[in-house]
Amino acid sequence: MSRGLYGIMHEGQLLRWNDVDAWVEKAVLDPSYINIPYHEVKCMTVFDGYIYIGMGGISSTSRYPLHKWNGGSFQIAVDLKTTLDVLCFAEFDGNLYAGCDLGRLRKLGGGATGFDVVATYGTDNINALVVLNDKLYAITDGLYLLEFNGVDTLTPVGSIPWGSLEDGAVFNNKIYTGHGSYLYYWNGEDSLIEVCNNYIDYISCLYSYDGYLYNGGVKGDLLRNNGTGDWVKVADYVHYNYSILRGCMREYSGELFAGDSYGALLKWNGSNAWIEVAPLAGPYTVVGLRVFTDPIIRRTKAWIM
């Protein structure tokens, strides 16, 4: 697997950007594992020299929740069939964790199944996992920010009065999250503090880059925040109402990229516009964007899942 910027489509295509103007297909998940909207790819990460993808859907039919790739064809990562949805990943304490539906946190290599539930809280989906100061936190599509004790418990450490937390990111050594146009940060103790709520586009994908917090929005706009003030638009959408989903913004070669739900790869010009650098005859949906680099570099604490 060569170094580069990779994207995964919810239809199962793994693509690599050619560093100029096009996606290049590298692999396709076996079609027998895809039946949208019942079985589809939900998220992507890089861990231990592999690209991992998480599966989910609306069906109660069992599926293999994890597949992995490091060249050639996708492989089943865990010999387990289940109805769970894998919605996000994070590397923590040298292990790969997955945030799933129904408040379940799972660990690769854990327990009898190789992907056991290690902690549960409530029944809300875990939309995002972030690591701050050597602790793992879960952001739910309900009201809560949860702290993992590293063993078997998720505990609420902050909440919002209403809504559904969409995503989370660490910025200026704080956890930021939000819903709608509302942005919050965690005070490090027991509260989520509102930063702003000026509407330009709704929160969909939060990412820290070059000294600011960015939001790739539901409409596809790019917004910026300094951590204390209002949202500021720094790029209009390219494909209207084709969202930049959580997990789909990434820094690559010092520049900010995003994959949208039309299947295109976008690069920010650094001032006021997205540039489409890899169009795709959509609509497809980019559900993950990751950089593969040298494994020794990748396993440092600077690697962002």
Amino acid at 53: I
Distances 90 to 18, 30, 136, 268, 275 between C-alpha atoms, Å: 27, 25, 8, 25, 29
pLDDT, tens only, 207-226: 999 999 999 999 999 999 99
All structural domains of the chain, each given as residue ranges with its CATH number in brackets, are 4-298 (2.120.10.80)
pLDDT, tens only, 91-106: 999 999 999 999 999 9
- Beta strands at 205-209 and 212-216: parallel, antiparallel or unpaired: antiparallel
pLDDT band, residue 281 (cuts 50/70/90)? low
Average pLDDT, rounded, for the chain: 92
**What does the pLDDT read at residue 61?**
77
Residue 1 has pLDDT above 90, yes or no: no
Those residues with Cβ within 8 angstroms of residue 32's Cβ, 6 or more apart along the chain or in another chain: none
Question: Closest by alpha carbon to 260, among 250, 270, 252, 272?
Answer: 250
Those residues with Cβ within 8 angstroms of residue 304's Cβ, 6 or more apart along the chain or in another chain: none
CA Rg, the chain, in Å?
18
Residue 67 has pLDDT above 60, yes or no: yes
Which region among 5-19, 240-254, 271-285 has the lowest average model confidence (pLDDT)? Answer: 271-285
The tokens of 116 are what? 């056991």
pLDDT band, residue 38 (cuts 50/70/90)? confident
Considering only residues 299 and 149, tell me which one the structure prediction assigns the higher pLDDT: 149
pTM of the model: 0.93
Residues 144 and 164: their CA atoms lie apart, in Å, by 9
Question: Closest by alpha carbon to 125, among 143, 151, 108, 109?
Answer: 143
Residues 268 and 251: their CA atoms lie apart, in Å, by 10
